[in-house]
Amino acid sequence: MDDTAGRGPVRWRRTLVLLLGLPGLLLSVLLLLVVVGILLRNRIVNSAPIRKEISFALYQFTGRDITLQGEIEIEDFPWVTVVVGPGTFGNPPDFTGPPLLSWRQIRLRAHYSTLYERAPLLDRITVTGLVADLRRDRDGRDNFSDIGPVESSGPPEAALSMPVIELRDASLRYTDETRSTEPLIALDALSLSIEKISRGAGATEGPHWQVGALSLTSKAKITLPAASASQLRPKENSPSTPILSSGSLEIQARGLDARVPEEADSSIDVAVIELGFDALRAKIDTLAFRPPTLAAAVSLDPIALDQLLRVVGVEPSFRSTADALQLHELTMQARFDGKLLHLADLASKIDETRIRGDLILDDPLRVRLDIDRVDLEKYVAAFDRESDYDPEVPLAFPGRLLKDLPLDGRIHFGKISARGANLKGVTLRLESRPKGASPPR
């Protein structure tokens, strides 16, 4: 019997425990190195035995092999800097491929006078050349969840605060070999700054981290495999090619709160996220992650519709003009439950057209939309890519286009205008069916 559903929350909790607990463990080990270096009065520690101790401690915490290379330097007294050279964080046993994490250098600064305190005074932590290779193999196994053994949280942890954690010249890959051998997400030249990080004291219910602000810039490439991309195209003449989107990614986030209680569901909340991907600008409010469900309020800045489609990797079949097919407003409540994306309370303004309703991104796409103030002639002219639109030729309702689209549900038009005539109160009921199937009776 498949127990994936039952194991899902546990897998997410163990992964979040790692992500939130590993920085604290690394800090403890690095601070120990600072104390050793001061006692020895050496700027470079004989690091061979110490590297083994660090690797063993991290192995006990994660169940993964960790390798550290090069010397461990200690400098800049009384603000002591620990410099750790190249290292790797390995994959699960029998999992082939590049290591989950590797890096060129880690630098940590702490004030020597607080090294023996439960809450040491820390300065900037910088990781250079981090490479994260998240991978799922053909059998569905991955190298980033179920990292353990992770036991109970134990006694309450001391409060901890860090002003800045910074990633420089980092990269990230996510590959799902059950869908494609090429990375679905690739981030290069990645810079990340996390400010005002704190861990609560006495958190007996489990790790509780807060972040004041996060800033990320990167060159991004996102690929949607052909099987998924076909859902966004008409069923007839649907090419078996992936959708590829690439551009400059910018993310600004504020007010992050993460909890991983021992006997309850984990949670991540973010007050606001501002996202930019080339010409696309979006704002995400009150993001809430309760594994595997992600929910947020989303709004988009004004953008031409053909430009919006190109940003997400779809070549449009129409041309936007200064007064046609311009997105002036879009807000929605988005929720992803691990399988389907639900868009509720959707409110949009395209030119003078108002659109409200709900969407579920399934196959077929499920819709419930109310559309008002449609200037049909304007849109027919914009959809004519050959620029041979003739206003004297009678307009034809785009029934074939709607028939070919994988849609289920209803669309209600409040008012449709065309060449001086108005049509009001039109409702279309849509039912998708496999190609070649007989129409319903």
Q: What is the mean pLDDT of each run of 10 residues along the chain (441 residues)?
A: 47 56 56 52 53 67 72 66 85 89 87 62 87 93 73 54 90 92 92 87 60 95 65 48 79 90 78 94 94 93 92 81 91 93 95 95 89 84 61 64 76 86 86 60 45
For 325-441, list the strands marked E by DSSP. Answer: 326-336, 341-350, 353-361, 365-372, 374-375, 407-418, 421-430
**HEC-encoded secondary structure of 3-40:** CHHHHHHHHHHHHHHHHHHHHHHHHHHHHHHHHHHHHH
Neighbouring C-beta atoms of residue 58, cutoff 10 Å: 20
Please report the pLDDT score of residue 153 as a whole number: 45
Q: What CA–CA distance (Å, rounded) separates 171 from 195?
A: 20
pLDDT of the residue at 139:
92
Q: Cβ distance 285 to 272 under 8 Å?
A: yes
For residue 118, what pLDDT is reported? Answer: 58
Nearest to 161 by CA among 206, 131, 119: 119
Cα separation, 261 vs 404, in Å, equals 48
What number of other Cβ atoms are within 10 A of residue 256's Cβ? 20
Long-range contacts of 260-266 (CB under 8 A, 24+ apart): 260/13, 260/16, 260/17, 260/20, 260/206, 260/207, 260/208, 261/205, 261/206, 262/152, 262/153, 262/205, 262/206, 264/205, 265/9, 265/13, 265/290, 265/291, 266/9, 266/12, 266/13, 266/16, 266/290, 266/291
| Contacts (Cβ under 8 Å, ≥6 apart) of 218 | 187, 188, 189, 190, 191, 248, 249
Q: Which of 326, 363, 327, 369 shows the shortest CA–CA distance to 345?
A: 369
Instruction: Write the CB contacts of 134 (distance below 8 Å, at least 6 apart in sequence).
Output: 100, 142, 143, 144, 172, 173, 174, 175
| DSSP bridge pairs for 142 | 136
Decide if 350 contacts 304 (C-beta within 8 A): no
Position 226 scores a pLDDT of 56
Can you tell me the distance from the alpha carbon of 251 to that of 192, in angstroms, rounded to the nearest whole number? 9
Q: How far is CA 281 from CA 95, 273, 277, 297, 315, in A?
A: 39, 11, 7, 14, 19
| Res 163: pLDDT | 86
